[in-house]
Amino acid sequence: MPDDDTDCSHCGETIPGQPIWWAPSHDRLAYLEEARDLGWFAHAPEAPLCRDCEARFRSLKAGSSTGVSFGDSNDQLDTELDPEQNELTEFLDELDLDAFRDKGMEH
Ligand SMILES: [Zn+2]
């Protein structure tokens, strides 16, 4: 596989040039592991995104983080995201998990 041809993990388009490597935050990762059965990574998983998808993801994040913190949920096993994060969840649901790579394996 040529190294310079990476497909976007969200829309599947071939990314011209350098992809944007997105490293999920702890919450997203927990969601991906629980809901999507994301495999285990020794270091930190990251996924390639094209500019369009990265921009979309950013806008979703901007819209959902209104500075309101729900605090630490007491012992809740299911990491349910609040309804306002539905779009964010959809975005996560659409990611191609096979596209994830481990950050520690760049060379
Ligand atoms: Zn894309």
* Phi/psi of residue 93, nearest 5 degrees: -65, -25
The rounded Å distance from CA 94 to ligand 1 centre is 10
Report the separation in Å between the CA atom of 76 and the middle of ligand 1, taken as the mean of its atom positions.
33
Give residue 9 CA to ligand 1 midpoint distance, Å.
7
How crowded is residue 93: how many other Cβ atoms within 10 Å of its Cβ?
Answer: 11
| CA–CA distance, 57 with 52 (Å, rounded to integer) | 9
- Position 104 scores a pLDDT of 77
State the average pLDDT over residues 64-68: 50
Give the model confidence (pLDDT) of 78-101 as tens digits: 455 565 568 889 999 999 999 999
Q: Is the pTM of this model over 0.85?
A: no
The pLDDT value recorded for residue 102 is 94
Closest among 9, 5, 89 to 46, alpha carbons compared: 9
